[in-house]
Amino acid sequence: MPRQPVLEQLTDQARTGLREMPTNAAWLLSRVLQPAETAVESAAAGARGKGRKVKAAVADLTPIGGDSVDEQLERAREAAERAQEAEEEALDAAEHSRDLAEEVREASARGKVRMAEVERELAERVSQRVAEARKAADQVVERERRAAEAEAERHRRAVQAEIEDEVEGAQRYADAAREEAEELVAEATEHLEAARRLADEATQAARAAAEEAQERARQLTAEAAEHTSEAETRIRAAEQMGERSLAAARELEDEPTNGGLESYNKPELVELAAGIGIEGRTNMTKAELVDAITKASGTGGR
């Protein structure tokens, strides 16, 4: 009977260790492989499998039928050995998982480095593509600018040529107009000189004519005065001639013929004809004067 407590103690310790071993193994795996979730899950699954094996071993310690205590202790020892093997396997698995986790971390780091390199390469490619696109765009813009400048230059030259033609035509027209104006000015100057000369001549002629007219007026005044005096003399002579003509006419009226006129000479007959207003008397002969005077005096019918 003294072995019973020892067996119970060993049994209890074996059961307690077996119960706690899967949990401890999982805890160890979680502590070792915490950074790598995938490896932890794999190790935990392995630990759970080992735990199931330990539970099966514990189940073998449970008295079945009429097994003796020695048999039970033997099974317990075997179970403890299997549990230790399982724990060692679990630790190996944990170490392997840790190695895998380290590889995962290294792969992750390499992936990050590679990703950074890829990002840098992609950024460089993007920058290069953008630079090439900008360069191509700049080249296109430069070609378009040059083409636009060339077209603008051609248009400017065409417009400049048109303007020069217009200016040249206007200049020719202006030169012709200027030459014509100069000719007209010269001609007008000549006309003006001629007009001035003619005006001077006309002035001189007018002055001379005025002087001559004044002289002529003085002469005419003198002549008029002289003619007036002569006229008065002639009037008096005419009156006297008229008186003599009347006397002669009376004498003719008293005489039956014109024998009295025959006694006058031609100048006296002319004066007598003038006294009674006979025209053309100076060109008449003496006989014609006698006849004209006779007819004018009305004595020829008697």
Distance between CA atoms of residues 206 and 227, nearest Å: 28
Residue 51, burial from CB neighbour count under 10 angstroms (0-12, 13-18, 19+)? buried
Give the pLDDT confidence score for residue 237 in this predicted structure: 63
Q: Evaluate whether 226 touches 258 at the Cβ level (below 8 Å).
A: no
Query: d(Cα 179, Cα 185) in Å, to the nearest integer?
Result: 10
What is the C-alpha end-to-end distance of the chain, expressed in Å? Answer: 247
Interatomic CA distance for residues 58 and 139, integer angstroms: 85
In one letter, which amino acid is 86? A
Cα(273)–Cα(263) distance, rounded to whole angstroms? 15
Measured between alpha carbons, how far is 51 from 122 in angstroms, rounded to an integer? Answer: 50
The pLDDT value recorded for residue 272 is 86
pTM value is 0.29
For residue 297, what pLDDT is reported?
75
Task: Determine the pLDDT at residue 302.
Answer: 42
Is residue 34 classed exposed, middle or buried when 0-12, 13-18 and 19+ CB atoms within 10 A define those classes? exposed
Region at 149 (left for phi over 0; alpha for psi -120 to 50; beta for the rest): alpha
| pLDDT digit string (tens) for the chain, length 302 residues | 444 454 565 556 555 654 555 555 555 555 554 554 555 456 556 655 655 665 565 555 455 555 688 888 888 888 888 888 888 888 888 888 788 888 888 888 988 898 898 888 899 889 888 999 888 988 999 999 999 999 999 998 999 998 998 888 888 888 888 888 888 888 888 888 887 888 788 778 777 877 887 787 777 777 767 767 666 776 666 666 666 656 655 655 555 444 567 888 899 888 888 888 888 999 999 999 989 988 887 654 44
